[in-house]
Structure 1
Amino acid sequence: MNDNFKCIYKILKTLEKAMDYSEFDTSQIDYHSLEVSKERWSRYIEMMSDVGYIKGVKITSYINGETSVDIKDIRITLKGLEYLSENTIMQRLYKSAMGVKDLIS
């Protein structure tokens, strides 16, 4: 599976789990924790917002080409939950990867 979709899945899965909490630590889904460039991460967030998987993000594009992404109010939408539900192959890969991570940690 493509690493792009693994990162998107991880963001959505983390947001789904965050539904149980009144406060959410966004550092769990920032570009550092996902180990991707800030630019790639910003594009993931923008794409997921554009297709309706997430909401509560503020994306600002500047004249110099830079983009600012504010995710302090980020949350998953019903469409994002449907994506997780329908993507059973990715669920299995994610669980396998977490199992491997636990074994080598």
Structure 2
Amino acid sequence: MANFKLIYQILTLLDKYLDHEEPDWSKLSAEHFKVTEKRFTHIMLMLYEAGYLGGIEPIPLGGNAYDFKPINPSITLRGMEYLEENTTMKKAYRLLKGIKDITPRNLTA
């Protein structure tokens, strides 16, 4: 679950940066998201390979290890669709949870 939260946070940051002339790229880091460098790099590469973000260059380090070089990181249309779908799902979840919370549990006639 923590991975999906990180994915959502990364894509949300990149989406916000569409409006900035000079984004603060220091926030696009493992330190900012409070995760290990290895996890952050792995998630960034997965997002790149899935087509959710562009503007990075994968750098093979040997074996299964990779790093990435940020060129001009940006969210893609596919990444925006992911955010939209997940935002809609969260709203629906909150609505249904709210309905459940106010519905009486014992409905006997």
Q: SS of the counterpart of 1:24? A: coil
Q: Whose relative contact order is higher, 1 or 2, with alpha carbons under 8 Å and at least 6 apart?
A: 1
Distance change >3 Å, CA 90–CA 3, structure 1 → 2: farther
Q: What amino acid is the match of 1:47?
A: M
Q: With structure 2 as the length reference, what TM-score do the two structures score?
A: 0.75
Determine which structure has more spread, i.e. the larger CA radius of gyration: 2
Paired position in structure 2 for 1:61: 60
Q: With structure 1 as the length reference, what TM-score do the two structures score?
A: 0.77
Paired position in structure 1 for 2:97: none
Percent of pairs identical after alignment?
A: 32
More strand by share: 2
Shift of 1:40: 0.5
Name stretches of at least 5 consecutive residues in structure 1 with no aligned partner: 94-105
Matching of residue 75 in structure 1 with residue 102 in structure 2: no
Name stretches of at least 5 consecutive residues in structure 2 with no aligned partner: 94-109
d(CA) in 1 for partners of 2:91, 2:25: 22
Distance change >3 Å, CA 35–CA 16, structure 1 → 2: same
d(CA) in 2 for partners of 1:32, 1:92: 32
Matched pairs, number: 92
d(CA) in 1 for partners of 2:74, 2:25: 10
Cα RMSD for the two superposed structures: 2.1
Distance change >3 Å, CA 64–CA 27, structure 1 → 2: same
d(CA) in 1 for partners of 2:29, 2:92: 23
Q: SS of the counterpart of 1:56? A: strand
Q: SS of the counterpart of 1:23? A: coil
